[in-house]
Structure 1
Amino acid sequence: MDLMQFFDMILHVDTTLGTLLAQYGTYVYAVLFAIVFCETGLVVLFFFPGDTLLFIAGAFCATGEMSYPLLMALLIIAAVTGNTLNYWIGGAIGHRVFTHDYRWINKDALRRTHDFFEKHGGKTIILARFVPVVRTFAPFVAGVSDMTFARFQLFNVAGAVAWVASLVTGGYFFGNIPVVRDHLTTIVLVGVGAAIIPLALGGLYKFGRRVISR
């Protein structure tokens, strides 16, 4: 297998994980660790698989082909360290990212994430875990926005545990049910919407009270 074929299998790991397991055995743990680390740690690799990877890997744990506790531990570490690297890169570049033309950064995704961050603050680090693309840019924006490292890590670790645990466990119990597997993205986005709507309503309520009190 040449490098391009391997890279294509990585990009479509939701359908090729079984093949990777058959060919590489336990080395697949290192591959999955690297994918999660890169997807959360490098903004140029925002297109790497995330939610589907965790969910399908959980399904393979249910069949006994992978270890559930080992997978959980490795992917949580990958998610935490990936976000931390991204935060440091954002902090190093700083606000120049909005004024300079960095071709390796998707400006539309960056601004969407920045707007999301402005609305929801530190909770963005947790909520963004469940939103593709935004997940990759959120820690970068946190670094650009000068969020303190201690506060960032609080949300970072909480988000990583929630993201990995929910999707791997979901895959473990429901990954072999076709209707769930085929509509995973929709299910995840509905769940995120259910978490965001109360926050938005709470913000509107506070804003309304301030307007009325004037």
Structure 2
Amino acid sequence: MTLAAIAAAASIVETFTRIADDAATYGYWAVLLVVAGDGVFPALPGETAIVAAAVLAAEGSLSLGLVILAGAAGAIAGDSTAYWIGRGGGGPIKRTVTRIAGAERLAAAERMVRRQGPALVFTGRFLPGIRIAINLSCGAGQMGYGRFLLFDALGATLWSAQAALLGYFAGKAFADQLWVAFVVAFAVTGIVAAFVTVKERKRVRAERAAAEAERRAVDAPPQGGGGGTV
């Protein structure tokens, strides 16, 4: 094994050990706050925070049930914030979040919410790329908050539970090497996220193509000629 490989391995161990220490130090509040922030700023590692805390739950530092609860509460808080930003008028916050969501994703989300409504809100937590656009669209008039909250809470709880269980079982499987549990859990999370991202992009492109086809159909002149008068 080369010195470079040894250094890289040591760096990986150090990184995941630090993640474990931070998760143990800040616990449930860290999960809740990071996941809530992820609902508005997707660059934050919401799912990673749940997985990290659940790995620690496997070795007894935290409670799995409370990790799931903290993740679900944070998801609901973050999604609701995006909803109310969508409901509000203009302003720098809404413009910033809209830019983060992306105009193309927003247009696709509006069409999808009109067709699928509650089902899309429920599954939105599993769609990291378009999730914020869905919640903004719902707030912008596509759905009342009570209905949104119900289906978002169901989806958030399921999403938090699956992320936590992934981390928990990885922690159990590699109980003697906690950093390996982190590597395995995050690798699986990354693979799933990459697959979902590819599917999301295809869906957004399909929605854009459908919208363009509808516009062309509306703008096209009527077919067939009318008869002359006698």
TM-score range (shorter-chain normalised) is 0.5 to 0.7
Partner of 1:210: none
**1:127 corresponds to:** 123
**Paired residues for 1:18-167 under 5 Å:** 18-22=17-21, 25-40=24-39, 42=40, 45-93=41-89, 102-106=95-99, 107-167=103-163
Change (3 A) 1:25 1:173: closer
1:168-214 deviations in whole A, cap 9, x for unaligned? 11221136285554132333576897xxxxxxxxxxxxxxxxxxxxx
CA offset at residue 140 of structure 1? 1.7
Whether the 8 Å CA contact 2:123–2:155 is kept in 1: the answer is yes
Query: How far does residue 21 in structure 1 lie from its aligned partner after superposition?
Result: 4.8
- The 3 A distance-change label for structure 1 pair 129 and 189 is farther
Higher mean C-alpha deviation, range 63-72 or range 156-165: 63-72
> Would you say how many aligned residue pairs link Structure 1 and Structure 2?
172
- How big is each residue's C-alpha offset from its partner over 1:137-177, in whole Å with a ceiling of 9 and x where there is no partner? 32221111341122111101101111001111122113628
Taking the aligned partners of 2:23 and 2:183, their CA distance within structure 1 comes to 26
The aligned amino acid for 1:34 is: L
Is the 1:55–1:171 contact (alpha carbons within 8 Å) kept by the matching residues of 2? yes
1:53–1:135 distance in 2 versus 1, CA, 3 Å: farther
Query: Structure 2: where are the runs of 5+ without partners?
Result: 1-13, 172-180, 200-230
Shift of 1:72: 1.6
Amino acid in structure 2 at the alignment position of 1:126? F
Contact 1:110–1:141 (CA under 8 A) maintained in structure 2 = yes
Amino acid across the alignment from 1:29: Y
Instruction: Output one character per residue of 1:98-131: Cα deviation in whole Å (capped at 9) or x when no partner.
Output: xxx9354222332343343234222111111011
Normalised TM-score (structure 2): 0.62
Q: Is 1:185 paired with 2:190?
A: yes
Q: Over aligned residue pairs, what C-alpha RMSD do you find? A: 3.2
Determine if contact 1:72/1:168 at 8 Å carries over to the other structure.
yes
Larger radius of gyration: 2
- Match for 1:37: what amino acid? A
Q: Measure, in 2, the Cα distance between the counterparts of 1:84 and 1:163.
A: 16
